[in-house]
């Protein structure tokens, strides 16, 4: 990827006196915690072997379909686009036991088959797995997901929530970039994506610097970490991360949370709506709307409302669940006209 070694993600050791809640509260950049979940039964099962890890997961799996992505024969594990900008893998559903049986068969035959279960909601798909493998995140109320698969390579992308990713089985390599580097990562479409978020079009294993010259600058800001079973990494919201599952079988458990209330809207929805309604306007109109966005959204100073009587400012007052619900209902009515 680069002739110069990338900077390492700062590391901390888990042990007596460590305070994960305080670390997360103060964090503005990524950091690794070695051994954070080393005592998980899932980690112990994985150290016995891939089949022991799969057996442990099956013991907790609910009897319901699991969504799985499967690459064609000879797939290199990179879940990405093909030459026609379609996905280079197919997606289906199946019982976890059947999916794992396919992985068993491929291992027995020595086949290099890409199988990936991405962002599976733990409480709805597993019974007791979360309780048996706990983590104390203080007062945070996270979404809990598990990622299961063979050797995979996930293109650089970012997420809106904060993320604590715990490696349970296998090894994973994370390459991270600050939010400001989005221009230098050469993002693909925002509506046609491998997993819901725009991804970097750069092949990190074989970057084409003629096509993507600014990627060199991105690498100047990159950090890398390789995690083993029991290790964890905190990825702050909007940080770009490229993830590689390095072993024949890998399991990651991650926790997503946001400091703002869940009833607030998603910024990505606002971006999509702005593309629909503003991007293709004449330049002088776009300049006017940019000024309005700065006034009402990004600057949002006292001058926006100080001339209005208190209690009569509508949605210009700090939002509540009730006013957020009214905005959402209004937008739905407008979009459905």
The whole-number pLDDT of residue 221 equals 98
Query: Considering only CA atoms, which of 258, 245, 262 is closest in space to residue 118?
Result: 245
The whole-number pLDDT of residue 1 equals 63
The whole-number pLDDT of residue 186 equals 98
pLDDT band with cut points at 50, 70 and 90 for residue 103: very high
Is it the case that residue 308 has pLDDT exceeding 70? yes
CA 215 to chain centre: 21
Question: Are 214 and 183 within 8 A, CB to CB?
Answer: yes
The whole-number pLDDT of residue 3 equals 61
Contacts with 82 (C-beta within 8 Å, 6 or more apart), sequence order:
88
CB neighbours of residue 272 within 10 Å: 13
Average pLDDT on 175-203 reads 96
Average pLDDT on 23-34 reads 96
Is it the case that residue 137 has pLDDT exceeding 90? yes
The matching CATH number, chosen from 3.10.270.10, 3.40.1000.10, 2.60.120.10, 2.40.50.140, for 7-257 is: 2.60.120.10
pLDDT band with cut points at 50, 70 and 90 for residue 311: confident
Average pLDDT on 64-72 reads 96
Contacts with 234 (C-beta within 8 Å, 6 or more apart), sequence order:
23, 24, 27, 30, 31, 32, 33, 162, 163, 164, 165
Q: Is 85 helix (H, G, I), strand (E, B) or coil?
A: coil
The whole-number pLDDT of residue 2 equals 58
Average pLDDT on 241-260 reads 96
pLDDT band with cut points at 50, 70 and 90 for residue 110: confident
Tell me the backbone φ, ψ of residue 187, rounded to 5 degrees: -75, 150
Q: What is the pLDDT of residues 198-241, one digit of tens each?
A: 999 999 999 999 999 999 999 999 999 999 999 999 999 999 99
Is it the case that residue 34 has pLDDT exceeding 70? yes
Q: Domain coordinates of the chain in residue numbers?
A: 7-257, 267-335
Exposed / middle / buried, residue 262 (Cβ in 10 Å: 0-12, 13-18, 19+): exposed
pLDDT band with cut points at 50, 70 and 90 for residue 58: very high
pLDDT band with cut points at 50, 70 and 90 for residue 312: confident
Sign of CA pseudo-dihedral 123, 125, 127, 131: negative
The whole-number pLDDT of residue 112 equals 86
- DSSP labels for 235-304? E-TT-EEEEEE-SSSEEEEEEEE-SS-TTSPPHHHHHHHHHHHTTTS-HHHHHHHHHHHIIIIII--GGG
């Amino acid at each position: 990827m680069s002739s110069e070694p990338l900077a390492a993600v700062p590391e901390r050791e888990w042990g007596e006196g460590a305070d994960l809640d305080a670390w997360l509260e103060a964090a503005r950049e990524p950091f690794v915690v070695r051994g954070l979940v080393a005592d998980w039964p899932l980690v112990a099962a994985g150290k016995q072997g891939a089949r022991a890890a799969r057996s442990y997961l099956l013991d907790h799996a609910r009897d319901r379909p699991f969504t799985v992505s499967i690459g064609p024969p000879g797939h290199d594990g990179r879940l990405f686009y093909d030459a026609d900008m379609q996905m280079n893998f197919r997606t289906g559903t199946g019982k976890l036991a059947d999916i794992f049986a396919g992985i068993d068969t491929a291992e027995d035959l020595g086949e290099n088959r890409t199988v990936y279960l991405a962002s599976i909601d733990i409480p709805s798909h597993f019974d007791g797995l979360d309780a048996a493998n706990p983590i104390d995140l203080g007062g945070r109320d996270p979404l809990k997901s598990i990622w299961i698969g063979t050797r995979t390579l996930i293109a650089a992308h970012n997420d809106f929530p904060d993320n604590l990713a715990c490696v349970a089985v296998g090894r994973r390599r994370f390459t991270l970039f600050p939010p400001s580097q989005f221009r230098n990562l050469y993002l693909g479409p925002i509506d046609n994506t491998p997993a819901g978020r725009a991804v970097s079009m750069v092949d990190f294993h074989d970057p084409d610097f003629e096509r993507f010259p600014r990627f060199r600058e991105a690498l100047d800001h990159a950090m890398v970490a390789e995690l083993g079973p029991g290790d964890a990494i905190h990825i702050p919201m909007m940080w770009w991360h490229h993830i590689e599952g390095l072993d024949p079988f890998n399991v990651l458990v991650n926790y997503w949370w946001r400091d703002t209330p869940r009833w607030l809207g998603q910024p990505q929805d606002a971006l999509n709506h702005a593309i629909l309604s503003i991007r293709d306007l004449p330049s002088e109109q776009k300049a006017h709307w940019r000024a309005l966005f700065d006034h009402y959204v990004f600057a949002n100073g006292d001058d926006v409302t100080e001339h209005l009587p208190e209690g009569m400012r509508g949605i210009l007052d700090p939002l509540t669940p009730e006013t957020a619900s009214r905005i959402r209902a209004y937008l739905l009515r407008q979009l459905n006209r």
